[in-house]
A and B are shown apart, each in its own frame.
Chain A
Amino acid sequence: MENEAGALSRVAGLFSARGYNIESLSVAPTEDPTLSRMTLVTTGSDEIIEQITKQLNKLIEVVKLVDLSDGDHIERELMLVKVRAMDKDREEMKRLADIFRGNIIDVTDKTYTIELTGTSSKLDAFLQAIEHSLVLETARTGASGLGRGERILRV
C-alpha cells in the first residue's frame, strides 16, 4: 500500500466497521520507500474472505493485495518473551529455548529474555510449553509472510 499517513487507519477502520476480525497486523515500509507492506492475518468463511479482499482492494491506498494462504507460502513471527528464570527453572528455560531454537538475548539474576522466531503456532506452542506463571511479559510482532518459490508480489 501507499506509504502514507492514514493508510493503516483506513484498513483498521474497514475491519471494525464491517465486523471482520484482525488476528494480527504488521506493517513497515518496503525497499521502495513510497510503499509499505502490510501482512494481515484474519479468519472467516470463503465468502467473508472474498468480501474482505474486495473491500480492501477498494481502498484507494491499497496498491496490490494477495491472499498468501491461496498458495504455498512462508510466514514468520518474532516474539520477545521475558521469563522468570530462577533456581531449577533457570536451566529448564535455557533448555526449552534451545529446543525451540530461540536465543536468550538478555539476562538478569532472575530473568531471561528469549527471542523466538517462527510461525505463530510455534510461538503459541512455546508459550504453552513453559509454565504460565513464569511468563512475565511477551511482545509479538504478528505474522509477516512471502509466497514460496518464484511467487512474488510486485507492484
Chain B
Amino acid sequence: MSIELTTEAVELTGAEITIRCLQEEGVSHIFGYPGGAVLFLYDELFKQDKVRHILVRHEQAALHAADGYARSSKKVGVALVTSGPGVTNAVTGIATAYMDSIPLVIISGQVPTAAIGQDAFQEVDTVGITRPCVKHNFLVKDITELAPTIKKAFYIASTGRPGPVLVDIPKDVTQQKAAFHYPASISMRSYAPVTNGNTRQIKKAVQMILNAKRPMIYSGGGVILNDAAAELTELVRMLDFPCTNTLMGLGGYPATDRRFVGMLGMHGTYEANMAMQYCDVLIAVGSRFDDRVIGNPKHFYSEERKIIHIDIDPSSISKRVKVDVPIVGSVSEVLKELIKLLKASKETADAHALQKWWKQIELWRARDCLKYDQSSSVIKPQMVVEKLYEVTGGDAFITSDVGQHQMWAAQFYKFDQPRRWINSGGLGTMGFGLPSAMGVQIANPGGTVACITGEASIQMCIQELSTCKQYHLPIKIINLNNRYMGMVRQWQEFFHGNRYAESYMDALPDFVKLAESYGHVGMRIEKPEDIEGALRDAFKLEKQLVFMDFITDQTENVFPMVPGGKGLSEMILV
C-alpha cells in the first residue's frame, strides 16, 4: 500500500511554497536576475512551467519591466532579485513604481537568518533600505509565515492606492519545510481601504457641479489605475465640461475628443492651464495637485474657485491645495455614484454660462500653443511623434524615458485609451523606457509597442537590448537624438545663462551598429522627409526590434513652459 492515503498536508520547502504562491496568484511572468540568496527559488522555477521567468540584464530593468507589465495589463507585476546588490540595483525601480502607485510584488533573497546583522556577503538591510519607497515590506523569518505573507503582499499591492510591496526571504527559509496552505482570502485589522465615497459629500459635489459657470475636470493617474476611464468619459460627455489629464492620467479621457483640452501642468497646453486657473468649479479625479501640475500653490490659489477632490488616498487630499469637497473612495465607484445622482437630478447646469466658458476656452485653444516649424530642414522631434501617431493609427503602447522627448510624446501622441501611455511621471526615472516596454510587450504579445526615448536616457538601460533579443520582443525604439540632455539644456538656456554644464552628450555610440551588434535592426534618419517612410518600414518588421535613431534639432525646446515657482497662467509660450 502506498502512502498516498495520508490526509496530512504536503510539506514543501520555502522555495517551493514561494513558487506555488505565485502560481496560486495566477502570476504568468516574473522578471528577475539570479544570485546566491535566491538559488533555491530559481531551482524551483526551473522545475515548473506555469510561471515564466524573464531574465533581464540588470535588476533595475527587472523592476521597470514588471512595472510596465503591471501598468499595461491591470495585473500585479512581479520581480525576483537576489540579496545585497540585487536589491540596491532594484531600488530605483521600486521607487519609480512607488511614486506612480504601481502594484508590484518584489521577492528578494536575503542572507540566511543566522547571518543577518553579521555583515555577511551580499547582505544589506533590505527592509530598511526599501522602507521609504514601498507601500509595505516584510522580512519572513518563520517559514510558516511565508504563504500568508505572500498573500498579504499581493493584497496590499493591488488594493486601495496600489503600490510596490517587497517580501524579503532569507536563504535558509527557502530551504526549510512547512505544510503548504495558501489562504483564499485575507483580512487585516490594520488595513481596510475604503471604496465607496461618502454619500453626503457626493451630494454636495452634485450641487456644486450644477451651480458651476466655468467648470473644469482634471484627472490623473488614479483614473487609469482604478480603470475608471469609462466612467470619467461618461461624466465629461454627459456634462459637456472641458477635461484635462495629467501626465499620469493621459488616456483617461479620449484625447481626440473636442472636450479634451490637452495635458496640463509645466508643459501643459495653454488652454488647459488657463482653464485650470480661471475655472470656478474644479473637479479633481484621482490626481494630487503635484508641483509639476499646478506649479506654485500660492499662485494657483483663487478665491473664486471651488474644488471637489475625489481620491482613494485621504493623504492626497488637502495636501498641497485646500479643497472644498473631499471625497475619499475608489474613483470608479464615486464617479458611478456621481453620474447616477446627476442623472436623477431635476436641475441642470447653466447652459448659457457653459457656452460662454467654452467660447473662452476656444479662444485660448486658438493660440495654438503646440505649434512648431513644420518646414524645418532638420528633424523636429515633435514631427517624429506626430508621424508615429499616424503610422501606428494611434493604437500603440507608448513607453517613454524622461526629458524633452517624454513631454513631446505626451503632447503629440493622442491617447484615446487608458494603459497605453507608460512613463515614469513621479520619480522621473531615466532608463525606464526600454525595460518598461519589455514588460508591456510581454503582457501584450500582439500589441504594437514603441519606446520614445533620447540618446541620454536610452543609455541608462541600453543593456536590455540583449533581453529583447533573447525573448524576441519586437519593440520599436524611437530615439530622438539631439546630442544633449535636452531638458537639462533647456533649463540651462532659460535659467542658467546658456551655460550648458555637462549636458552635451559627447562620444555617442553608433546606435545603428549597436542595435545590430545585439542582433536587432538599426536605422538612422536625418531628414524630415524620411521620417514617415522609415517609420512605416520599421513597423512592417513585426517580428523585430528596430532601433530608429532620429537626428533631431539640437535647439528645440518644449513649449509651453511654466517655470518652477510660477503659476499656471504664467507660461512661456512659443
Contact A60 B188 (CB under 8 A): yes
Interface hit among A2-10, A121-129, A132-140, A141-149 = A2-10
Interface status of A57 (Cβ within 8 A of chain B): yes
Interface status of A152 (Cβ within 8 A of chain B): no
- Could you say which of A9, A10, A60, A155 contacts B191, with CB atoms under 8 Å apart? A60
Contact B190 A17 (CB under 8 A): no
A51-B315, A54-B315, A58-B313 known; A1 vs B127 contact (CB < 8 Å): no
Contact A63 B315 (CB under 8 A): no
Task: List the A residue with the shortest CB-CB distance to B156.
Answer: A60
Q: Which residues of B contact A2 (CB under 8 A)?
A: 190
- B288-331, CB under 8 A of A: which get 1 and which 0? 00000000000000000000000001110011001000000000
Interface status of A61 (Cβ within 8 A of chain B): yes
Contact A17 B132 (CB under 8 A): yes
Q: Which residues of B contact A61 (CB under 8 A)?
A: 190
For A, the interface residue count at a CB cutoff of 8 angstroms equals 20
- A59-96, CB under 8 A of B: which get 1 and which 0? 01111000000000000000000000000000000000
Contact B131 A13 (CB under 8 A): yes
- Could you say which of B127, B190, B313, B319 contacts A6, with CB atoms under 8 Å apart? B127
Report the minimal beta-carbon distance from B567 to chain A, rounded to whole angstroms: 20
Q: Which residues of A contact B190 (CB under 8 A)?
A: 1-2, 60-63
- Report how far A2 CA is from B318 CA in the complex, Å: 28
Report the minimal beta-carbon distance from A105 to chain B, rounded to whole angstroms: 36
Interface status of A21 (Cβ within 8 A of chain B): no
Contact A54 B314 (CB under 8 A): yes
Interface status of A55 (Cβ within 8 A of chain B): yes
Contact A51 B319 (CB under 8 A): yes
Interface status of A50 (Cβ within 8 A of chain B): yes
Contact A55 B189 (CB under 8 A): no
CB within 8 Å of A: which of B114-148? 127-128, 131-132, 135-136, 139
CB within 8 Å of B: which of A34-59? 47, 50-51, 54-55, 57-58
A1-B190, A2-B190 known; A10 vs B131 contact (CB < 8 Å): yes
- Report how far A85 CA is from B191 CA in the complex, Å: 53
Task: List the A residue with the shortest CB-CB distance to B160.
Answer: A58
Task: List the A residue with the shortest CB-CB distance to B131.
Answer: A13
- Report how far A2 CA is from B136 CA in the complex, Å: 14
What DSSP secondary structure best describes chain A's contact surface?
helix
- Report how far A13 CA is from B131 CA in the complex, Å: 8
- Report how far A9 CA is from B191 CA in the complex, Å: 18
Report the minimal beta-carbon distance from A59 to chain B, rounded to whole angstroms: 8
Contact A13 B189 (CB under 8 A): no
- Could you say which of A1, A13, A55, A60 contacts B315, with CB atoms under 8 Å apart? A55
- Report how far A62 CA is from B319 CA in the complex, Å: 20
Contact A13 B136 (CB under 8 A): no
Q: Which residues of A contact B189 (CB under 8 A)?
A: 63, 155
A2-B190, A155-B189 known; A57 vs B131 contact (CB < 8 Å): no
- Report how far A55 CA is from B161 CA in the complex, Å: 13
Q: Which residues of A contact B188 (CB under 8 A)?
A: 60
Contact A13 B132 (CB under 8 A): yes
Report the minimal beta-carbon distance from B540 to chain A, rounded to whole angstroms: 49
- B135, B315, B322 — which one has the most chain A CB atoms within 10 A of its CB? B315
- Report how far A17 CA is from B131 CA in the complex, Å: 11
Task: List the B residue with the shortest CB-CB distance to A34.
Answer: B189
Contact B318 A50 (CB under 8 A): yes
Q: Which residues of B contact A62 (CB under 8 A)?
A: 190
- Report how far A80 CA is from B153 CA in the complex, Å: 44
Report the minimal beta-carbon distance from B187 to chain A, rounded to whole angstroms: 13
Contact B315 A9 (CB under 8 A): no
Contact B314 A57 (CB under 8 A): yes
- B155-174, CB under 8 A of A: which get 1 and which 0? 01000000000000000000
- Report how far A63 CA is from B131 CA in the complex, Å: 18
- Report how far A13 CA is from B139 CA in the complex, Å: 17
Q: Which residues of B contact A47 (CB under 8 A)?
A: 318, 322
Which residues in A have some Cβ–Cβ distance to B below 8 Å?
A: 1-2, 5-6, 9-10, 13, 17, 47, 50-51, 54-55, 57-58, 60-63, 155
A-B contacts, 27 listed (Cβ < 8 Å): A1-B190, A6-B127, A6-B139, A9-B128, A9-B131, A10-B131, A13-B131, A17-B132, A47-B318, A47-B322, A50-B318, A51-B315, A51-B319, A54-B315, A57-B314, A57-B315, A58-B313, A58-B315, A60-B135, A60-B136, A60-B188, A60-B190, A60-B191, A61-B190, A63-B189, A63-B190, A155-B189
Which residues in B have some Cβ–Cβ distance to A below 8 Å?
A: 127-128, 131-132, 135-136, 139, 156, 188-191, 313-315, 318-319, 322
Q: Can you add 9 more A-B contacts, CB < 8 Å, to A54-B315, A60-B136, A62-B190?
A: A1-B190, A6-B131, A9-B131, A13-B132, A17-B132, A50-B318, A57-B314, A60-B188, A61-B190
